[in-house]
Structure formats: structure tokens, C-alpha cells
Amino acid sequence: MKIELYIAQLLYRYQCVTVPGFGAFLAEIQSAQLLENSNSFFPPKKTISFNSHIKNNDGLLANHIAHAEKTSYEYAVSAIEYEILNWKKTLQENRSLSIKNIGVLSLNSENNILFTPNEQTNYNAKSFGLTSFVSPVVKREVELPKPEVVAEYQKTITEEEKPVFNFIPETVETRRTNPYLKYAAIFVIGLAVTGSIGYPMYQKQIASETILVETAVQKKVQNKIQQATFFIQTPIPAVTLSLKSEKKGATKLPYHIMAGAFRSEANAQKRYNQLIAKGYDARVLGVNKNGLYPVLYGSYTTFAEAEKEKKEIIENDNPEAWILIQSL
């Protein structure tokens, strides 16, 4: 069974697809980009990476294969294990493994797995149909004056340099007309002054209102980031994993109920104190690769225990609580 097809299908919907016993493919959303040196535009996409340390079976891939192939969950797990054996064998023999539409895995001199993603496939479903393009530079032409116009202009200047005085005798009719001309001139000058003062003031008012709106939007975005919580509806079946640590007698707690992830450490500590006051065995984890401080309600040995506790938390405290499967 070729499981790379099902891995690719899940990368469109999830940010982490774990291949049990091998590693996990992680998808991170990247915003649209503009390369000014080449005038190239690129749509938003998901950047795929690989982490060989995440190997626990979270049930996502096996459950998806079982549903797609209309077979049992146990058979899907066996098929994945068989395919992983072939992958490891190919890596050892060829030092490289190509996974269709996902990328290329290779071994370095220290036998560590390196991953090169396939840049041709965009797993961001919201960017479907969008492709990169190059916009040509807009060149504006400067129209030069014609030689005839230049000659006429020079001739006009030469003629204007000669002083010409025309004496027009003032008549009674002229004296009567002059006061109206003076008023008209004053009115025109007043309009010009009003326009020169009023327009900059109007522009300044628009700029001030724009800055106020942008400041308010940025403040709301920062508040959303610092108080952000994340909710994942997981299709994981009720699979019980009980892992023993290397220390004899100690049991790992790989199932954790997430209360949220905060950009500010102070906010994370505040949420932790609230959970402790309510009687939860809460924990604050160190900052992750995204610069956030995760806060846990508690950790559990089996998925069934975590699922039961999560339902009570959703009803009584936080409807957006979710389960993280990871060995901490």
C-alpha cells in the first residue's frame, strides 16, 4: 500500500501528520510574498517540514487509511508498518527516498534524516487555483517639447524682454469699471488663499483618522494573539497507549489537555494560577518554536482518561479544550 497518497491528503487538512515509527510531516502556513528584485508575486502556501523525533501513533493516518480503503484499523496499522520497513530499507541502500508530491528524504554522514520539500505542490486549500506570476516594471515616458515649440518660446522671451509701455487715457467709463475689477480680483485671491490653506488641513485630518483606525486594528490583533487558544477536532479513535520510560517503575504521561497558548509569559502564568485555584493539576510548558507558552490542564496515561476529563472541562470550564499527544 502506497501511504504517501493518504499523507498528502491529510496535509491539506491538518498541520501535523505522524507516520508511526518513522516521523512526522509538519505544515506551516506562509503568507503571500513579493520579490522586488524580480517583480515576482507568490500566493500563500503551506511549507512542509519533517521531524524524525515525533514517532508516536496518534491514530490519524491509520484511521484515514481504514476509512478510505474500507478496512479495519488494525489492518491499516499493519500496512503502515510494512511500508515504513520499505522506506527504511530504501534509505539505507540508496541514502535517499523520494515521496511523491511531498519531498525527498536523505541521510547525511551521521545517518540523520534530511528533508527537502516539493515546492511544486501547495497544500494550502485556500490558495487553490492561485499561481505565481511576474509583473513587468511600469515605465513612464517623458514627452520632450517639440523644436518648433522651443523656438517659439525663445522668441516670446526675447520679445518680452523689450520694455513696452502703453498709455491709455483714463475715461469716466474706465473709472466706473475699475472698482468692480478690484472686487473681483480680491475675491479670486481669497479663493486661492482658502484653497491653499484648507486642502492641506483636509489632507492632515484624513491622515490622522487613518492612523487612529490602524492603531485600533493593531491593538485588537495583539490582544487576540496574547489571549489565543487553539482548538482541534481530532478524528483519533479511542486508542490506548501506555508508555514506560527508561527509568524502571516510572510511567510516561503522553496525553495532555491544552488550556491555551499565550504570546505573553505573564498571561500564561495568570491562566496557570486560575487552573490551580480550580483544583486542576496544571502545568506551564517552555516557549515553543512559535514563541508561545502552552498551558496544560493536566497529563494522563491513557487516551480514555484524557478524553473523559476533556468532556468535563468542556462542559464546566473551557469549550475549546483539546488533547495533545506528545511525550514531554
Reading the block at residue 280, the C-alpha cell is: 486542576
In a shared domain, residues 239 and 128: no
pLDDT at 220: 60
Reading the block at residue 315, the C-alpha cell is: 462542559
Lowest mean pLDDT among 16-30, 192-206, 305-319: 192-206
Q: Angle at Cα 39 formed by Cα 34 and Cα 44, nearest 5°? A: 30
pLDDT at 6: 92
pLDDT at 110: 87
In a shared domain, residues 219 and 231: no
Contacts of residue 119, defined as CB under 8 A and 6 or more positions apart, other chains included, come to none
Lowest mean pLDDT among 186-200, 216-230, 270-284: 216-230
pLDDT at 323: 86
pLDDT at 32: 76
- Which class for 293: exposed (0-12), middle (13-18), buried (19 or more C-beta within 10 A)? buried
In a shared domain, residues 254 and 217: no
In a shared domain, residues 125 and 45: yes
In a shared domain, residues 189 and 76: no
Whether 102 is covered by a domain: the verdict is yes
Instruction: Please tell me the total number of residues recorded for the chain in this structure.
Output: 328
In a shared domain, residues 206 and 232: no
> Which carries the bigger pLDDT value, residue 281 or residue 39?
281
Whether 150 is covered by a domain: the verdict is no
Which stretches does DSSP call E strand in the chain? 16-19, 23-30, 33-35, 40-42, 45-51, 96-99, 103-107, 113-117, 133-134, 255-262, 283-284, 293-300, 322-325
In a shared domain, residues 23 and 121: yes
At 250, which CATH number?
3.30.70.1070
Given 83, 105, 134, which residue is the final one in a domain?
Answer: 134
DSSP line for 163-204: ---------HHHHHHHHHHHHHHHHHHHHHHHHHHHHHHHHH
pLDDT at 23: 93
- Which class for 19: exposed (0-12), middle (13-18), buried (19 or more C-beta within 10 A)? buried
Question: What is the band of 7 on the pLDDT scale with cuts at 50, 70, 90?
Answer: very high
Cross-strand partners of 260:
295
Q: Which tens digit of pLDDT belongs to each residue from 130-140?
A: 666 676 767 67
In a shared domain, residues 78 and 129: yes
In a shared domain, residues 130 and 78: yes
Cross-strand partners of 49:
26
Lowest mean pLDDT among 90-99, 234-243, 271-280: 234-243
Is the pLDDT at 40 greater than 50? The verdict is yes
Task: Summarize the confidence of residues 196-213 as an average pLDDT.
Answer: 63
pLDDT at 306: 86
Which residues form the domain of 298?
Answer: 227-328
Number of independent structural domains in the chain: 3
In a shared domain, residues 269 and 326: yes
pLDDT at 260: 87
